[in-house]
Amino acid sequence: MKANEAVTLEASADAVEYAIAYELGDGALKAGETNPEMYTVETTAFMLNNPIRTGYVFTGWTGSNGTTPQTTVTIITNKNKLEKLSYTANWTSAEKYTPTLKMEGGANFIVGMATEDAIARIGEGVPNFGAANFKSVDLDGKPIDTKFYQVRNGSIILTIEKAFLNTLSVGEHALNVQLKGEGYEGQTVSGQIVVSPVPGASHLPKTGDDSPILLWCAAFGACAAGLAVMLARKKK
């Protein structure tokens, strides 16, 4: 009986629920998302959904996970430490973090001779900022076809393929990246792609322009005609 009683007591202990409290500080979870308010010893590990707040950047949770804000918090049940948990959302004004665009390799090349892709890094050092904040990109106000670029995290890494670069004309081209997400909706960051002419190309006639050749032919014809007249006079 004593053994059975022990089993009953253990089962009863397993059923105890422990509360999880959250302080969101004027923030809220995204539509359709929730975080558990209770857990037991049988609860499987889960990750907290992060809140959002207009005009602010979520910098992480503090509380039962420690005093250093963490943007990724996973709750793992520990039989030896069952207790009430609490988490506080920490925020920083989005105005403190203004994403900038930095061009790397491939942003300067001779017309038609790009040998590598152009890479734009956007928002380096901005917390919780990444590919999800990318909305669209254009060059000189014209959208770039999605088949010519890729976007990945870190914060935002935009790669524009050389196949597209080699279609550009000589000159300075404005690269504009539109952002989205809490605190960034409507923002645009810009950079520049510079296409240089082929060295010495400015001294060559344009393709399809036959005017210099026609002038040379006319001049040659005039000289030939003049020489013929002179020879004819000498014979007389």
At residue 5, the pLDDT reads 46
Confidence category of residue 123, pLDDT binned at 50, 70, 90 = very high
State how far the Cα of 174 lies from the Cα of 49, in Å rounded to an integer.
Answer: 38
Cα distances (Å, whole numbers) of residue 143 to 35, 147, 166, 174:
39, 12, 16, 12
Please, what is the end-to-end C-alpha distance for the chain in angstroms?
149
At residue 81, the pLDDT reads 82
pTM of the model: 0.57
Coil, helix or strand for 102? strand
Per-residue pLDDT tens over the stretch 67-76: 999 999 999 8
Domains and CATH numbers, the chain: 2-94 (no CATH), 101-201 (2.60.40)
Indicate whether 100 pLDDT > 50.
yes
What amino acid occupies position 32? G
Q: Check: CB of residue 113 under 8 Å from CB of residue 48.
A: no
Indicate whether 232 pLDDT > 90.
no
Mean per-residue pLDDT, 75-98:
87
Over pLDDT 70: what percentage of the chain? 79
